[in-house]
Amino acid sequence: MRADRLVATLLLMQARGRVTAAAIAEELEVSVATARRDLEALSAAGVPVYPQAGRGGGWSLIGGARTDLSGLTEPEARALFLLAGPSASAVPELKSALRKLVRALPQTFRTDAQAAADAVVIDPARWGAHDPARPAMVTALQRAVVERRKVRLDYERKGERTQRLVDPWGLVDKDGIWYLIAGTDRGKRTFRVERIVDAVVTEETAHRPADFDLAEAWGEVVGEMEQRRAATSATALIAARLLPVLRHQQGRHCEVDGPIEDGRIQVRVTAPTPRMIAQQLAGWGAEIEVLTPQSVRDELAVLGTELVDRYRT
C-alpha cells in the first residue's frame, strides 16, 4: 500500500541520511520508478526531501540524517500524516505504526499530526456503482478538518441549493464516493462531497467534540443508511457463473443463501422499494428469476411491458 511505503521510505532516509531510488526500490521490493514517484510525492506534500545530482548523489532530508521524527517541523509532520492517515483506517498495522510515530513527535506537534491521521476513514464496502475519481474539493476539506476551520458550503440536493456554515469533523472515502461528516446548527450531518457546489474555508475556529470518533460516527451513518436501503428484500435465483458479477454490482445489498438442486444460487437482494429492486434486476432478463415477493415480480412485469411498448418495431 502506497501510504505504508511512504512512511517506510521516510524512516529509511532518516536512518541512512542519503539514499538512492534504486536502494529504496531494493529495500521495499518495488520498481525504481515507483520509489522515485514516492520520493517526489513526499517532496510535493511538504516533507523536506530533495534530490542531489552527480556522483554520490541521491535523495536526502534537509538537515541531514535523523534517527527519529523529532526533527520534523509542524507542517512536515502534518503533511506526513495527511499522506498516511487515510489508509490507516483500513490497515491495522499502519494505524499502530502511526500511533508510534505520533509519540515520537514533539508534544506541540502531536495534536495536529493526530488530527491529520484521523481526518479520513476509508470504507471499502461497495454500495453499488461509483466514480473512483477523488473530488478536487476533498483536499481543501481535509485541511479544514485538520486545522479546525469552519467551512461555508453551497450544497445542492434534488435541485435545491442551500448554504450552510459547518464544523468539519472528518471525511470518509467509501469506495470512491466521498462524504463529509460535520457539525451544524441542527447537530451532526453527513454531506456527499460531489453535491458540494462550493466550499469556502473561513478563519473561524471549528468546534469538534472531544469524544468524537470518526470511525464510530461513520458506522452509525452506515447503519442508518442500510436500514433505509434494505426496506425491501427479494429472493432470487441466478446461475453460479454469474453470481460474482451480481455481487460486484449490488455490493453489500446482495446476500448469498446457497445453492439449490438445479445448481443455481439463491440470493437475497435489498433496496428501499420493490420498484428499485425491479429496476436493478430487469437488465438481467431471464438470467435471474425472482421468487418473492410478489410486489417485485409485479414491478418486473410492468417494466417488461413498458420496454416492449417502447421498443416494439
What confidence tens digit (pLDDT) does each residue in 205-222 have?
Answer: 999 888 888 888 888 887
Share above pLDDT 90 across residues of the chain, in percent, rounded to a whole number: 32
Share above pLDDT 70 across residues of the chain, in percent, rounded to a whole number: 69
* Number of neighbouring beta carbons within 10 Å of residue 179: 20
pLDDT band at 25 (very low <50, low <70, confident <90, very high): confident
- Choose between 71 and 231: higher pLDDT: 231
What confidence tens digit (pLDDT) does each residue in 228-268 have?
Answer: 766 789 999 999 999 999 998 888 788 999 999 999 999 99
**Does 194 score more than 80 pLDDT?**
yes
Distances 185 to 157, 171, 191, 235 between C-alpha atoms, Å: 19, 19, 14, 42
- Choose between 313 and 251: higher pLDDT: 251
Grid cell of 234 as nine digits:
427479494
Amino acid identity, residue 220? E
The CA distance from 204 to 166, in Å, is 10
Handedness of CA 281, 287, 293, 299 (dihedral sign): positive
Evaluate whether 200 touches 154 at the Cβ level (below 8 Å): no
Write out the DSSP string of 189-221. EEEEGGGEEEEEEEEEEPP--TT--HHHHHHHH
Q: Provide the terminal-to-terminal Cα distance of the chain, rounded to the nearest Å.
A: 53
- Choose between 299 and 129: higher pLDDT: 299
3-state DSSP call for residue 128? coil
Grid cell of 227 as nine digits:
436500514
3-state DSSP call for residue 45? coil
| N residues, the chain | 313
* All domains of the chain in start order, with CATH: 2-118 (1.10.10), 123-211 (2.30.30.520), 230-311 (3.30.70)
Evaluate whether 70 touches 76 at the Cβ level (below 8 Å): no
Whole-model pTM: value is 0.48
The CA distance from 60 to 77, in Å, is 17
Grid cell of 91 as nine digits:
490497515
Grid cell of 252 as nine digits:
453489500
Sheet bearing 58-61, strands edge to edge? 18-19, 58-61, 49-52
**Does 67 score more than 70 pLDDT?**
no
Determine the Cα angle at 124 with ends 160 and 118, to 5°.
Answer: 80
Evaluate whether 204 touches 152 at the Cβ level (below 8 Å): no
The pLDDT value given to residue 262: 92
> Which residue bears the cell 538512492?
20
- Beta-bridged to residue 50, according to DSSP, are 60
Which range among 135-149, 187-201, 297-311 shows the weakest confidence by mean pLDDT?
135-149
Grid cell of 223 as nine digits:
447503519
The pLDDT value given to residue 265: 95
pLDDT band at 77 (very low <50, low <70, confident <90, very high): low
